[in-house]
Amino acid sequence: MKRNRHGRAKILTIAELQLLFTEGLPSTYYRCLFAVTLFSACRINEAVTLLTEDAYDFQGVVRSHLTIRKSHTKGQLGTRTLPIIPDLQAFLAAHQPEAGDPYLFPGLFRGTHLHPDSAARVLRKACAQVGIEGASTHSFRRTALTQMSDQNVPIRVIAAYSGHRDLAQLNAYLEVRDEQVLGAAASLSMLSPIVQGVGKVMYGDNLTARSQTESDVSFSPL
């Protein structure tokens, strides 16, 4: 967990996301910004450098896909075109009146975009207000990619979404939760041999002939 800007960004729970978006983030502008980082799993620098035309057509209507340009990505590895799901579409539609020219998230001065550090300061204040510790602007990206992994989305599909070329680097983003480790351990129960007085507890007719007559069981590993 991140503390005093050190460590890994926290994976946010559904309850924490709800708190941030309803009680923490101060405006439609910032709610849309962090919705973009969440639903596109992009980096904060990729979000703040988005052009208005990357999200809206010439009539100001939200596009079907969001374009994250190669020139704005880390390492400039390639342009990503990601579907805008209805959840993100709603935030973008609400934000449209505040979109700038040329940037989707304009800065204080004409023709500039919001600085990533400014976004980070707003998020830290929002987290403090709702009692969330350990989150950073990177939390939305990590949360999104971990959610995809939890839903068994293939790792190569996740990599295409996130822009990772190195699958080992992507794996470092994905959090393994305690309950997942417990579930993995519990799944081993099906391998348990039936031994009198040890291991699985069996009753009455559920006892096999072998378990009734033998006091030990030997088995070959799979």
The pLDDT value recorded for residue 210 is 42
Rounded to 5, what percent of the chain is helix, strand, coil?
50, 10, 40
C-alpha neighbours within 13 Å on the C-beta side of residue 110: 0
DSSP E strand boundaries for 11-94: 65-68, 80-83
**Geometric angle at alpha carbon 78, from 165 and 9, rounded to 5°:** 55
User: Quick check: 27 and 160 in contact, CB under 8 A?
Assistant: no
In this structure, what CATH number is given to the domain that contains residue 161? Answer: 1.10.443.10
Q: Which two tokens stand for residue 179?
A: 């309950």
Express each pLDDT in 11-56 by its tens digit: 999 999 999 999 999 999 999 999 999 999 999 999 999 999 999 9
Query: Which residue range is the domain that position 207 belongs to?
Result: 191-222
Q: Which two tokens stand for residue 160?
A: 């295409």
149/67 same-domain check:
yes
Q: What is the pTM of this model?
A: 0.76
Across 112-140, average pLDDT: 97
> What DSSP character marks residue 84?
-
57 within a domain of the structure (yes/no): yes
Backbone dihedral angles phi then psi of residue 11, each to the nearest 5 degrees: -80, 125
199/140 same-domain check:
no
The pLDDT value recorded for residue 216 is 41
Express each pLDDT in 207-217 by its tens digit: 443 434 334 43
Mean pLDDT of the chain: 82
125/215 same-domain check:
no
Across 94-98, average pLDDT: 97
Alpha-helix runs per DSSP H in 59-177: 86-95, 116-130, 139-150, 155-162, 167-173
